[in-house]
Amino acid sequence: MRSRRLVLLTAVTLVLLLAGGAYAKTTLTFWNGFTGPDRPVVESLVQQFNDENPDIEIEMDIMPWDSFMQKLMPSYIVGKGPDIAGLGAELLPRLVEAGVLAPIDDVFTETSVPRDVLAPFAVDAATYKGKLYGTPMSSFALLMYYNKDHFTAAGLAPEAPNNWDEWMQAAIKLSNPPQQYGMVLPTKESPAVWPLLMWSNGGGILGEDGEVLIDSKETKEAVSFWADAVHQHEISPVGLIGPETDKLFQTGKASMHIVGPWMTAGFTEAGLNYDVAPIPEGPKTRATAGGVTSMAVSKQAGADPEKRKAVYRFLEFWNSEESQIKWALGAGFPPNRIDIADSPEIMAHPWVPKFAAGLTYAQGYLVGTPKFSEIESDVYEPAMESILLGKQTVEAALDEAGQKLRELVK
């Protein structure tokens, strides 16, 4: 009697287990800051993944970047962080130090996306102290947008300048403040325009091995070259923050603008006659700044074999050729994969191929340091602002910045 009941119980349990197994879904949470026009593209790719993988469910939460950070930290603290988070390179090292992310060095061998098909700087951006913590979700390089009508009106050929001297001459010639400015040089909340000018002259803020470059001769030369022109010829308004620069270019108040691929849609829709070109070559080199959002895996998800497998499947899906073509054509970003940059679908797009070309030599801005925010807000921004506002000389401001930076990275 008793044993029969036991058998029955076991059978029922087994059936339940089997049935459960067949329907068991691995649920992954995925948070990112892709609001705005990129959101529908991200959503449709995630939807496609969910449809194609009935055993995995990605629950995505998209929110604006700054509130994303505010939600992310407390959530990680109580162990409720997302399994996958779309993180900027500036934040990643700090979170690694905090011990909330899982290294995923085997992702290139476990999935069908090998390391060498991805833009090198984009992989580096997710690497900290020799370990990999994410694969790229999106990557971009800055290019120079220029207004062709302005060039023609100023008696210039509607072509981008090639070197700094041509560039400076064009900037001065195109400036007729306050009606029109040759350039827009933002100092805050913006892509790394000043840093890439520093790099072009062999300077920078912080070198690859952590050496302080912000008070080097090369950096000072580069900053003086452009800041003097701002002071003498008003080639750019001062005190600009990122979004303002976009508005100035869009309204035809600025002739040249260094920014990422996301503005092409808006500028085209506004009817601007413009083109994009590589950043003109500097005295030392041609440089551009790249930006990366990496999909980073939380420690909990990394430790759970089931989840880890599902996460890898999603990362693989995201950087598959097919998805990357959809992403590039939908969002206007260059594909993360450099091996499909010359595929016919990509080449047919008016802008993406140009941005993809930029990815091959792009550098990350202040990547690989957990002190990104301190360096940006205590060292770099105040130095540039006080130079451009005429509160300090280039020499004095950058010397002071160098001192502060040494203190910070000591």
Which CB atom, from 120 or from 266, has the smaller least distance to other proteins?
Answer: 266
Cα separation of 263 and 124, whole Å? 25
Distance in Å, CB of 359 to other proteins, minimum:
17
Which CB atom, from 35 or from 320, has the smaller least distance to other proteins?
Answer: 35
Q: Is 249 helix (H, G, I), strand (E, B) or coil?
A: helix
Distance in Å, CB of 200 to other proteins, minimum:
23
Distance in Å, CB of 247 to other proteins, minimum:
5
**282 contacts 124 by C-beta, under 8 angstroms:** no
Cα separation of 260 and 161, whole Å? 18
Measuring CA to CA, which residue among 368, 325, 367 is closest to residue 346? Answer: 325
**345 contacts 329 by C-beta, under 8 angstroms:** yes
Which CB atom, from 161 or from 257, has the smaller least distance to other proteins?
Answer: 257
Cα separation of 201 and 398, whole Å? 15
Query: Would strands 254-259 and 143-147 be described as parallel, antiparallel, or unpaired?
Result: antiparallel
Distance in Å, CB of 355 to other proteins, minimum:
13
Which CB atom, from 113 or from 272, has the smaller least distance to other proteins?
Answer: 272
Q: Is 282 helix (H, G, I), strand (E, B) or coil?
A: coil
Distance in Å, CB of 4 to other proteins, minimum:
41
Distance in Å, CB of 389 to other proteins, minimum:
6
Cα separation of 332 and 310, whole Å? 28
Note the residues at the interface with other proteins (CB under 8 A): 29, 33-40, 59, 61-67, 69-71, 73-78, 80, 94-95, 97-100, 178, 188-189, 237-244, 246-248, 250-253, 260, 262-263, 265-266, 269-271, 373-374, 377-378, 381-382, 385-386, 389, 391
273: tokens are: 């006659």
Rg (CA), the chain: 24
Which CB atom, from 218 or from 307, has the smaller least distance to other proteins?
Answer: 307
Cα separation of 235 and 150, whole Å? 14
Distance in Å, CB of 150 to other proteins, minimum:
13
Cα separation of 198 and 187, whole Å? 13
